[in-house]
Amino acid sequence: MTPDLLHHGGRLAEAARVFGGEPADWLDLSTGLNPLPWQSAEAGRIDWHALPDPDALRELEHAAAGHFGAVPEHVCAVPGSEVALRLLALLLALPGRALTPAYRTHAEAFASSTPIGFGETLDHPAAIVLANPNNPDGILRPASAILSWRDAVAGAGGWLIVDEAFADCHPQASVAAHVGPAERLIVLRSFGKFFGLAGLRLGFVIAPPAVTAALRGLLGSWPVHAAALDLGRAAYADAGWIARTRADLPLRAEAMDRVLTRHGLAPQGACPLFRYLADCDAAGLFARLAHARILTRPFAERPRTLRLGIPADPAALARLDIALDKALADG
């Protein structure tokens, strides 16, 4: 297994180089992306000649705010939430504290970052970053618990940054509506996970106006490209697709749970876009599934854990089922 396969999901070309086959032969379960992405005819009508329109940017941010339950004036579109977190680290100029396990970027974004446990108190001002639902273990915390910690962090002069990349599946747990001018709370949202269009590199920062103003100053006049503006607006306005997807994803996750459980595995996590396996022969299972051209997500810092995205359809799930039969028999 190469370092690239331990660093991020979606490295099909690298997996094919190491284990064989062509990228198109592989079933990619290494990401937490919706495998059935939102689609629209708008993709063929984007004006690539004109510069991104400022009015379209405002319309996108208003549409996104409605989806998040946030105040539009607090919403700033960004070219991906990872970029936004790195810029926020510069703006806040505080040491970072990252929940573990978590996204690698939560610690990497800050020049100085140390782990922290959920609810732990601060003895000096810091920027705490956590995901809800968490990645990779899928733990979902209620909004009330997040807000209680925000109050404690603010009392110590710090900021709480909540990465809600997977919160589209759990709107009741979002704290986006609680962002305000006097609150030391920032929320990150991702477009690519729920809508399955990670290649757009579209995200949002929901923050007090002073923070969004400073962020806009760093991003400049055209923070996201024309396709992100057009497709983002249309997707957030598609209430029917959003409702159907919120209903369908848990059903697909439950079907995968049944397959994993039947093979003696113990899937964890509340997010219906992925499942987490702890205390398993992760390296062996990863390699045996890779030989079957199925890519999963291992973690260098947690060698006995593995994350699997949810297959798109019954055929893909059946392919995983067959591969697990052989992988676990060989193991």
**Structure confidence by residue, pLDDT tens digits, 177-234:** 999 999 999 999 999 999 999 999 999 999 999 999 999 999 999 999 999 999 999 9
Range of the structural domain that residue 148 is part of: 41-237
For the whole model, what pTM was predicted?
0.95
At residue 300 the predicted structure's pLDDT band, cuts being 50, 70 and 90, is confident
pLDDT, residue 3, reads 66
Co-location of 205 and 316 in the same domain? no
CA distance 141 to 285: 29
* pLDDT, tens digit (0-9, with 9 covering 90-100), for 225-261: 999 999 999 999 999 999 999 999 999 999 999 999 9
What is the domain-level CATH number for residue 266? 3.90.1150.10
Q: How many structural domains is the chain composed of? A: 2
Co-location of 60 and 178 in the same domain? yes
Co-location of 29 and 95 in the same domain? no
pLDDT, residue 21, reads 95
Q: Is 174 exposed, middle or buried (0-12, 13-18, 19+ CB in 10 A)?
A: buried
Co-location of 145 and 282 in the same domain? no
| Over residues 305-321, mean pLDDT | 97
Co-location of 77 and 216 in the same domain? yes
Out of 237, 259, 293, pick the residue that ends a domain. Answer: 237
Co-location of 45 and 32 in the same domain? no
Percent of the chain topping pLDDT 70: 97
At residue 329 the predicted structure's pLDDT band, cuts being 50, 70 and 90, is confident
Co-location of 254 and 188 in the same domain? no
Co-location of 186 and 325 in the same domain? no
| Over residues 320-331, mean pLDDT | 89
Do 198 and 225 meet the contact criterion of CB atoms below 8 Å apart? no
Co-location of 59 and 199 in the same domain? yes
* pLDDT, tens digit (0-9, with 9 covering 90-100), for 99-154: 989 888 999 999 999 999 999 999 999 999 999 999 999 999 999 999 999 999 99
Co-location of 281 and 297 in the same domain? yes
Co-location of 181 and 251 in the same domain? no
* Residue 99 Rama label (left phi>0; alpha psi -120 to 50; beta): beta
Task: Name which of 320, 256, 318, 253 is nearest 288 in CA terms.
Answer: 320
| Over residues 282-288, mean pLDDT | 95
Co-location of 95 and 203 in the same domain? yes
Out of 208, 237, 266, pick the residue that ends a domain. Answer: 237
